[in-house]
Copies of this chain bind each other. A is one copy, B any other.
Amino acid sequence: MAETWVRMVTAQTPTNIAVIKYWGKRDETLILPVNDSLSVTLDPAHLCTTTTVAVSPSFGQDRMWLNGKEISLSGGRYQNCLREIRARACDVEDKERGIKIAKKDWEKLHVHIASYNNFPTAAGLASSAAGFACLVFALAKLMNAKEDNSELSAIARQGSGSACRSLFGGFVKWNMGKVKDGSDSLAVQVVDEKHWDDLVIIIAVVSSRQKETSSTTGMRDTVETSLLLQHRAKEIVPKRIIQMEEAIKNRDFASFAHLTCADSNQFHAVCLDTCPPIFYMNDTSHRIISCVEKWNRSEGTPQVAYTFDAGPNAVLIAHNRQAAAQLLQKLLFYFPPNSDTDLNSYVLGDNSILKDAGIEDLKDVEALPPPPETKDAQRFKGDVSYFICTRPGRGPVLLSDESHALLCPETGLPK
């Protein structure tokens, strides 16, 4: 083949945060979980992965660049996703450009992949979820696979379990499935992002000196050693999933918050019940929980739910904008930025909530009063790296405007 065309697709996929947690695999290779989980998709405007995939007869091998740096595709998780998508590839014809790829050709053609997160990978914000979802979604479009997003989610799952939940916007359930090949372990949308659109999400990225246990290692240890995990997976989560779906459908914030907090805490409880024990939350995480719990109690009805993944960062889901503004005041009281920090690099995302909270500059932060529901007026400057304000968001989309592509349309190499 002397052809030199490059065919490209660029997609954008959100990250997600589980409100009923996934922790523990019953099959390590296929990534099949021990229980259902349920997540909220975060607005890709603030947290997303953009991936460009390209195919060309001129490519000599599959290659990938993550945030501008070439990485190896030899890992089983990448190979699983590539193999599964290739197996579903179909004929592609671009008459205009004279490109024709037959179904059988895909086995021989190589792809280039470039992926970029609009948030720091190191922040521990489930970049692999958005990443694998975006990879699978973009490859499926490139290869003209006919599968719907649920079917694609079962492939993304083999890259990173929680990635399957990033194939939809709004609230998404990952059914654990029953069959051995994992084909029924896939994500379905519970409600779309418009269903409950007054929720506001504030993420506190917590400074941490400690290296955390990877979730893969951590959940393996928990499955092998925790005597509480199976009880959670078999007896507790199935009921919670039903209650959570109900709460979301009814926009019942009190139930939603109760279930979200309880399930986050139970996930961390089974981590602690692991041998050796796994600690993802630190003193700052505990302080944030205490702040929210005290406020919720003083109001009589929950204003904010909290949930923590495999790290110390807090994801706080406020009932509405007003609650979010009040929450931000409390958070900035306890965790003011270092004096040399610009407020706009401390409160990221939709920082218009700052205005609602009556905060314009660092002086306003300094002048914040202690939350009235507490006697504890100690402030912890520097213990939070930054906040991200966001909301529930949409699922994957194709970005047809070529300016968004991360690969050069002529060479298929990173721009």
> Which residues from chain A sit less than 8 Å from chain B, CB to CB?
209, 225, 227-228, 231-232, 235-236, 258, 261-262, 265-266, 268-270, 272-277, 279, 282-283, 286, 289, 293, 297, 378
Contact = CB atoms under 8 A, between A and B. Distances in A.
Nearest to A270: B269
B272 A268 contact: yes
Nearest to A237: B227
Given A209-B378, A227-B236, A231-B231, A289 B266 contact: no
Contacts of A261: 275, 277
A286 B283 CA distance: 10
A265 to B, nearest CB: 5
Contacts of A279: 286, 289
Contacts of A209: 378
A274 B289 CA distance: 13
A346 to B, nearest CB: 23
Which among A225, A262, A293 has the greatest number of chain B C-beta atoms within 10 A? A262
Given A231-B231, A277-B289, A279-B286, 20 more contacts: A209-B378, A225-B262, A227-B232, A227-B266, A228-B236, A228-B266, A231-B235, A261-B277, A262-B273, A262-B275, A265-B273, A265-B277, A266-B272, A268-B272, A272-B272, A276-B293, A276-B297, A279-B289, A282-B283, A282-B286
A225 B283 CA distance: 23
Given A231-B231, A232-B228, A283-B282, A275 B269 contact: no
Nearest to A289: B277
B378 A269 contact: no
A261 B277 CA distance: 9
Nearest to A279: B286
A301 to B, nearest CB: 15
A225 B225 CA distance: 24
A273 B266 contact: yes
A231 B229 CA distance: 11
A39 to B, nearest CB: 21
A225 B265 CA distance: 12
